[in-house]
Chain A
Amino acid sequence: MFLKFLFRRLIYVIPMLFITTLIVFSFILLIPGDPVLALLGENATPEKVAQLRQQLGLDQPIIVQYFDWLKNAIQGDLGRSIFTGQFVHEAVFSRLAVTFQLVVVAMIIAVVGGMFFAITSIYFPNSWMDYVARFFGTLGTAIPNFWLAMLLVLLFSLKLDWVPATGFTSIADSPVSFFKGILLPAFSLGMVGIAQITRHLRSSLMETMSADYIRTAYSKGVDRWQAIFKHGLQNAMLPVVTTIGILFGNMLGATVVIETIFAIPGMGQLAVNSILQRDFTMLQGVVLVMIVLVILINFITDIVYAVLDPRIEY
């Protein structure tokens, strides 16, 4: 039964992938500013432009270009960068590792922070803790992440000199440097997550805590702490699973800004530079990987939800 459900969801992923990549691919080709002109610079004679366009296959209709690209992509060939000649899959996967580390840490910060605030505010309703939690829940949503990032750098790097202002060390190379370097960018990235998880978890916990079964638990002599942790949280976490799934996609998008500010050589930075240079093949590779990731995460979210919530019919 569960397998069938899994299979059904998978079948649904394929057209999703197809449609999203087609849309994004078309958008990329419609960006004003032609890669051929960017490549040729002052040598852009009409003959040379036509010749290079043909060479890159840009003279074909979009749909033909798309299927050519798709055919190669399915075989694992994402082509070479128009500008540097580097293989796209190499560039993308080397950076994926970087962005992945960043997003995972940001997600941990978001989940831990969000749960902490939500639970304390429920445990101590209307206390100052509750107000702090609510304040954070609003503030995090309102603060633009790039602005927060700049303030954090100002305070923790330039003023206090606790952590570096830029750069990235892989966790495999040096866990200590990794941790120091990732703190600010991950926090800037995770702030919105803290806020959203706080708000969602807080409201769903409130609802849960007023449910009959919790009252029953109280009457059996369970204390407040146990009621929240043992009985409430399990059900209240369900909507948060969805929030986390959505957050992941948002964070992936936000890395574009955060990686630029902190000079982290990840996917976001690669995306920005590819757009600025009009390196279409590289950009298509980056976008493809991002789309696959987001769809994959959504897929996993659905599965997790189904496993956690017995009410969901397979």
Chain B
Amino acid sequence: MKRTQLTFITRLLFLLAFTFVIIGCSSNSDEKASTAEKGNDGTKTEEGTPKKGGEAIFAYETDVSNYDPTQGSAGSDHALLWPVYDTLIKFTPELEPEAGLAESWDFLDDKTVELKLREGVTFHDGTPFNAEAVKFNIERANSENSKVTDLKNIDSVEVVDEKTVKLHLSQPDSSILLALSDRGGMMVSPTAVKEKGEDFAQNPVGAGPYKMVKRVPNGEVVFEAYEDYWEEGKPYLDKMTVKIMADENTRINALKSGEVDYADNIKPGNVQQLKNDSNIVLKDKTSVAFRILYLNAEKEPMNNKAVRQALLYGINRDDIIQAINFGSGEPASQPFPSGYWAAGENIKVDYDPEKAKQILKDAGLEDITIKMNHYSTAYEQRIAEAIKSQLAEIGINVDLQAMELQAAVSNYFNEKEVPMFLSSWTGRPDPQITIKNLFASDSFYNAGGHSTDEIEKLISQAAGIYEQEERAKLYGEISQKALLEEAIMIPLFFEPRTSAMNQSIKGFEPNLLGKPILSTVWKEQ
């Protein structure tokens, strides 16, 4: 019996030939439309009067870790929680607080906040939303089993009357308002929690614009408009379906072939191909999330300030943005992007390899090797390799250790195995939360717990100031000290968050937080 044995090379040639055939089939599709570029520059176009009715299908990257807002801790959850749970405070696209279920707020003194609640609001199960419900929710968020950390400074909630609550703080906390636009401010129905107990997460009930009617975990979530929603005429869509598609190419394919109307989180490498498609509108906005090198100052060689500072000047952020992000992104010298109210002025780290070398030389350091964790995706691998080669030029050898997300996170933050971790800071609605998490010595994210008395003092000082400009000034000062002097961590760059949608989807507005708000969308029939 004669068998055809093909060599490896022959198979490879077949593969290549096959690829070329297919690429040949597909390449002319790119030529069909580069005419209509309108709306693709990311600016907000006038989209006309919102229309009511219809349904839209969204492709989103990750499913909710838990539908009980106090039980999850992933930053990707919010987009799917907000339709169901309205928050006490909302935020503008520029991350300024605005009225939510609380119509207004007032700081009676630096440790008392009074909230006036909206009238005529009900939860999806008919339970009235009132001061008692607020008290129930905040106490629940601060209870033993909750994972919410941002409301810890609320000592007690005082029910003044049906529509008024006072929050008594244990210490001044300027982040408290915007913390109520996050998990801690998501109002769940007290009745449903008491009835469902452990099963509440399977049957979420909030006061948001949409009711969740069906969920296939990691498959899809189906929302229907809540007919008694407090805001007149909203929501616009009768039905929203969110399909979970972990793979970015899958999301793009689904959008291109019309199976979904909207695809979230498109990376810079794919933006170009979508720009050429006249049916697709791209909306992007730089967000408060940024790439970061976390440093553990407890571990060799990071316990030497000179090494940390050399890293600060030894990385060419512009080159990384050009090479890996196709030019999109903003180099980061502080934890806040320019244009954000909390950003400090005149804080700039320039790429200066000579300076970095000098710092190391002055400290008498040579042949430094640093082990660095990074995620194992192709994109992260590229950034890690760029950093490795840039640092090699200043005499620092980086050992890359690729790990899958959960493993990398616990290996660095919990087990504290490595001195450096290439990851990201996903941003928080209030700058105080970010500053405290990154620079305070007792923070989980500051793995080495390195800080100075001065920085700590400034952080607590900022907590007691409620005036934006003054706060921004202090944050600038903190960044100056924590980053430029101490190099507690190394900020790399802010990435734009890009969403792609077809022409008929209107009303979507990206925000600085980088977490999409889906419930404002309407559809041009």
A residues neighboring B (CB under 8 Å) = 31-34, 37-44, 81, 83-86, 91, 94, 134, 137-139, 142-143, 150-151, 153-155, 157-159, 161, 164-167, 203, 206-207, 260-263, 265, 269-270, 272-273, 276-278
> With A42-B73, A203-B3 in contact, do A261 and B247 touch (Cβ < 8 Å)?
yes
Instruction: Assess the A84–B405 pair: CB atoms within 8 A.
Output: no
User: Given B59, B246, B410, which contacts A38 in the complex, CB threshold below 8 Å?
Assistant: B410
Which B residue's beta carbon lies closest to that of A264?
Answer: B219
Q: B199: CB under 8 A from chain A? A: yes
Contacts of B149 in A (CB 8 A): 42-43
Which of B45-53, B156-164, B250-258, B465-473 lies on the face that meets chain A?
A: B250-258
> With A43-B149, A158-B29, A203-B1 in contact, do A263 and B410 touch (Cβ < 8 Å)?
no
B3, B250, B437 — most chain A CB neighbours (10 Å): B250
For the complex, give the distance between the alpha carbons of A6 and B147 in Å.
53
Q: B368: CB under 8 A from chain A? A: no
Instruction: Assess the A165–B256 pair: CB atoms within 8 A.
Output: yes
> With A143-B15, A165-B253, A167-B254 in contact, do A86 and B259 touch (Cβ < 8 Å)?
no
> With A159-B29, A277-B65 in contact, do A33 and B15 touch (Cβ < 8 Å)?
no
Contacts of A207 in B (CB 8 A): 1
Instruction: Assess the A276–B404 pair: CB atoms within 8 A.
Output: yes
User: Given A40, A138, A265, which contacts B147 in the complex, CB threshold below 8 Å?
Assistant: A40
Is chain B's binding surface mostly helix, strand, loop or mixed?
mixed
Which A residue's beta carbon lies closest to that of B6?
Answer: A138
Q: For chain B, give the interface size range.
A: 35 or more
Q: B521: CB under 8 A from chain A? A: no
Which A residue's beta carbon lies closest to that of B75?
Answer: A41
Instruction: Assess the A262–B410 pair: CB atoms within 8 A.
Output: no
Known interface pairs A32-B407, A41-B74, A270-B218; 11 further A-B residue pairs with C-beta atoms within 8 A, sorted by A's residue number: A40-B147, A83-B72, A91-B217, A138-B11, A138-B14, A142-B15, A150-B249, A158-B256, A166-B245, A260-B247, A263-B247
Instruction: Assess the B22–A158 pair: CB atoms within 8 A.
Output: no
> With A41-B147, A84-B67 in contact, do A167 and B407 touch (Cβ < 8 Å)?
no
For the complex, give the distance between the alpha carbons of A19 and B65 in Å.
32
Which A residue's beta carbon lies closest to that of B260?
Answer: A166
For the complex, give the distance between the alpha carbons of A77 and B14 in Å.
50
> With A37-B410, A43-B149, A84-B217 in contact, do A263 and B22 touch (Cβ < 8 Å)?
no
For the complex, give the distance between the alpha carbons of A161 and B1 in Å.
44
For the complex, give the distance between the alpha carbons of A155 and B29 in Å.
11
A-B contact pairs, 12 of them (CB 8 A): A42-B437, A85-B199, A138-B6, A143-B18, A159-B25, A164-B257, A165-B253, A165-B254, A165-B259, A166-B245, A263-B244, A273-B63
Instruction: Assess the A159–B247 pair: CB atoms within 8 A.
Output: no
| Chain B 204-234 per-residue mask, 1 if CB under 8 angstroms from chain A, else 0 | 0000000000001111100000000000000
User: Given A139, A155, A166, A278, which contacts B14 in the complex, CB threshold below 8 Å?
Assistant: A139
